[in-house]
Structure 1
Amino acid sequence: MKASRTLARLPGTEPAIAALEDAAVSVAVPTHNAQAIAMLRAMPDGLRTCLLAELRRGNRLVAVDQPDWPQPGSIFVSLADVFHPSTRSLSPDVHWRDVNDPRWWREELTQVDAGVEHMVVC
């Protein structure tokens, strides 16, 4: 089993800030790790749209990882709070699931791009 490669922990309190651009909207994201910003920009469009909607609403990034799970190349993002109800159906390519397992996470949004599943969880 391949070990997880944690590329960033984003506590939301870093003084260095960069804009994560999505069309004409920019959201402040802590940038002590340029690889994390690159991964967020590389997410599939629908999932990135949902993530940006959550960040605009004040949800905080907890972690950005590329753990090669559930497939090699998967991007895994963790948020602090549950998703806003409108985020769950924001993109037709993104699937929402109520996991509600205290050992893992409460909710997840997933999108498959080129056979690779990417996830945002809370």
Structure 2
Amino acid sequence: MRRIFVLVFLALAVTYVANAYAEQPRLATFHETATVLVDQKLSNNVTASISLQTTSLQEFQIPKELDAKIHNDTNVIAVIITNEDQCVLGVQDRVCVMINVKRVDSEGPVQEAQQKAKTSG
């Protein structure tokens, strides 16, 4: 009787621990990436950044108008929202919204791609 009790206890303990501490990979909605860049040749700087990517609208809140513009524009590939210092040349201490758009080689100069991105944003 004692052996049966011990076996049942161990089986329940293993089941409880596995369920309590296991994470289902398919349920994770975000991905965190840490990047460290070491530039020893030119400026001898070390730059570190952490980024979060998500597929969930609950993780990060963006205005509904911007969300509608992003989803209705077929040229948009990715949208990056960041408050990194100097994320765009000339912008400091503000949130930056960077829009990646589709570009065909035959479209011409960079100015056309910039104009397409401005109309998307």
TM-score (ref. length: structure 2): 0.26
Higher strand share: 1
Relative to total residues, which structure has the larger helix share, 1 or 2?
2
Kindly name which structure, 1 or 2, has the bigger radius of gyration based on alpha carbons: 2
TM-score w.r.t. the length of structure 1 is 0.26
